């Protein structure tokens, strides 16, 4: 996700890859009236979890750099301030035994971040789901597939 404090908007995206790293689907969504980074993170997670469930993906590893959200999902007692924010995320994921949330460095999700950032930098407000990767990021996604240790 990407967020603009100045314009109070955020962009979110998710990318689905197969076990070999090939990009199958990606999606982008924009939000307005987003008043904090935390709000942007929560909205992005809610949308991603809902979207993946609607696409009927049952075995998924969600890789993200939002360490506070991921840690709060696994250890609620250590993050009491986020409890109200993570309740919906827990409801969306609790019956999904094949779902796993993994903390990854932001560098591992550069493509997804660029898609989300395009809402803010490119004023791309249209939400969509598409096969493969966006043409304007083809080189980036191709290089991500060939990086040692990527998968």
Residue 88 lies in a domain: yes
Condensed to tens digits (0 to 9), the pLDDT of residues 26-76 reads 999 999 999 999 999 999 999 999 999 999 999 999 989 888 888 888 887
Residue 97 lies in a domain: yes
Query: 39 and 5 in contact (C-beta within 8 Å)?
Result: no
DSSP of the chain: -EEETTTTEEEEEEEEE-TTS-EEEEEEEEEES--SHHHHHHHHHHHHHHHHHHTT--SEEEEES-HHHHHHHH-GGG-GGGHHHHHHHHHHHTT-TTEEEEE--GGGGHHHHHHHHHHHHS-----EEEES--GGGHHHHHHHHHSTT--
Q: What order do you get walking across the sheet with 9-17 strand by strand? A: 2-4, 9-17, 23-32, 128-131
Tokens of 127: 């939400």
Q: Say how many residues make up the chain.
A: 151
Q: What is the domain extent for residue 62?
A: 2-141
Quote the distance between the C-alpha of residue 138 and its chain's center.
Answer: 19
How many domains would you assign to the chain? 1
Residue 58 lies in a domain: yes
With bands split at pLDDT 50, 70 and 90, how would you rate the model's confidence at 147? low
Tokens of 16: 């689905």
Please state the pTM of the whole predicted model.
0.85
Residue 150 lies in a domain: no
User: pLDDT value at position 151?
Assistant: 46
CATH of the domain at 8: 3.30.420.10
Query: In whole angstroms, what is the distance from residue 50 CA to residue 62 CA?
Result: 13
The answer on pLDDT for 148 being more than 50 is no
Condensed to tens digits (0 to 9), the pLDDT of residues 92-146 reads 888 888 999 888 888 888 999 999 999 999 999 999 999 988 888 888 888 776 5
Residue 149 lies in a domain: no
Instruction: Decide which of 26 and 86 is more confident.
Output: 26
Residue 83 lies in a domain: yes
Residue 111 lies in a domain: yes
């Amino acid at each position: 996700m990407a967020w603009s404090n100045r314009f109070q908007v955020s962009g979110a995206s998710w990318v689905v890859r197969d076990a070999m790293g090939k990009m199958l689907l990606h999606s982008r969504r924009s939000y307005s009236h987003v008043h904090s980074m935390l709000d942007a993170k929560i909205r992005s997670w809610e949308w991603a979890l809902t979207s993946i469930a609607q696409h009927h993906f049952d075995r998924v590893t969600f890789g993200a750099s939002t360490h506070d959200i991921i840690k709060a999902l696994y250890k609620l007692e250590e993050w009491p301030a986020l409890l109200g924010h993570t309740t919906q995320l827990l409801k969306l994921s609790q019956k999904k035994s094949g779902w796993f949330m993994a903390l990854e460095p932001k560098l591992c999700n550069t493509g997804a971040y660029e898609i989300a950032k395009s809402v803010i930098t490119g004023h791309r407000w249209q939400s969509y789901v598409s096969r493969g990767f966006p043409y304007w990021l083809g080189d980036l996604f191709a290089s991500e597939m060939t990086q040692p240790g990527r998968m």
